[in-house]
Amino acid sequence: MGVYGNGTYGAGLYSDTATIAAVQDSAWPPRILVTVTGLTVGDQVTIYESQAGARTAVRGADAVTMTDTEFVVNDAEYPFGALLSYVLSVNGVDVVTATLTPTLPGGQVALSDAITGVAVETKISAWPHATNARTGTRFDVGGVSMFVSSPRAGAEVQAEFLTLTDAGREQMLNLLNSATSGIVLVRVPDVTLYPGFDGHYLVLSDDSALMTQNGQDVRRIWTLDLVESPGWASSLEASGWTYGDVLDAYAGLTYADLTGDFDTYFDIAIRDWGMGRP
């Protein structure tokens, strides 16, 4: 559950009623539902994800001009196992913070597409080395070697992942076939115990092999050629609950049942629909 807080406010800058909450939902891998209330129409709002002193703007919540007093966004790109803060900035001023320590159910590794929500539960079976390279050209002029080169590029890794079930095999194929821009997000269950693996990676190629030569063995070893990537375009937003999820929860019921359970559309937006009808 998120922690609510209030900041110190300057007259005329923003509403002094702003609150923020961050709650991990029941999807896998879990997303964090960040909700903000008490804003003023016209406010420019940014929500930052902050961990170990480094912070980045949450996808879909970077310099948003408010047309309402409430705001909700899904974060599907955060680390597990470490204290995490969400900082609300209004008109360029940090206002309130919500904190929590997210957990990854199952304790394995999540490979996911944060844009579509497609994911697979897997294990890292090998991550032998990461190679960084520069693109450059050498010129020999008057006995002196001159170089023109690019900055150091992202690391390239040939990593192995293990899926244990036939469902896992199908989920891996689905992720590799549909990954937005060919990018996947690797997240370990605890970044404090297994540092250096989390990140966005472009998948250059993939190969699968049976764990054993038993034709009935459903386990697969996946060798993925990965290159560190900045991630998806900032214009793309992480997936959330859909009207289909609401329809599933209210199958056989009517709109009157829905309005009887919720006072506002905002209440519907912040409902964890993986839990079904309230």
d(CA 135, CA 153): 8
Cα 211-111-105 angle, rounded to 5 deg: 95
Q: Which residues contact 86 (CB under 8 A, 6 or more apart)?
A: 2, 20, 22, 32, 34, 47, 48, 49, 50, 58, 75, 97, 98, 99
d(CA 189, CA 163): 16
Q: Give 1-103's CATH code, choosing from 1.20.81, 1.20.58, 3.40.50, 2.60.40.
A: 2.60.40
d(CA 72, CA 266): 8
Interior/surface letters 149-162, b for 16+ CB within 10 angstroms, e for the rest: eeeeebbbbbbbbb
Q: Is 174 exposed, middle or buried (0-12, 13-18, 19+ CB in 10 A)?
A: middle
CB atoms within 10 A of CB 1: 9
Q: Domain spanning 109-228 has what CATH number?
A: 2.40.30
d(CA 193, CA 82): 10
**Per-residue model confidence (pLDDT) at position 5:** 38
**Beta bridge pairs of residue 112:** 119, 185
10-residue mean pLDDT series, the chain (278 residues): 37 67 92 94 95 91 93 94 95 93 95 95 93 83 84 88 96 96 96 93 95 87 95 87 79 88 83 82
Residues of the chain with CATH 2.60.40: 1-103
Q: pTM for the whole thing?
A: 0.82
For residue 184, which amino acid is it?
V
Residues of the chain with CATH 2.40.30: 109-228
Cis peptide before 189 (omega within 30 of 0): no
The encoded tokens of residue 144 equal 């002196």
Give Dmax (Cα) for the chain: 85
**Beta bridge pairs of residue 72:** 35
Backbone phi, psi, residue 10, to 5°: -100, 140
**Per-residue model confidence (pLDDT) at position 2:** 35
**Per-residue model confidence (pLDDT) at position 185:** 97
**Per-residue model confidence (pLDDT) at position 15:** 56
**Per-residue model confidence (pLDDT) at position 131:** 86
Q: Is 247 exposed, middle or buried (0-12, 13-18, 19+ CB in 10 A)?
A: exposed
d(CA 273, CA 198): 27
Alpha-carbon torsion (266, 269, 270, 275), positive or negative? positive
d(CA 55, CA 84): 10
CA dihedral of 184, 190, 195, 197, whole degrees rounded to 10 = -20
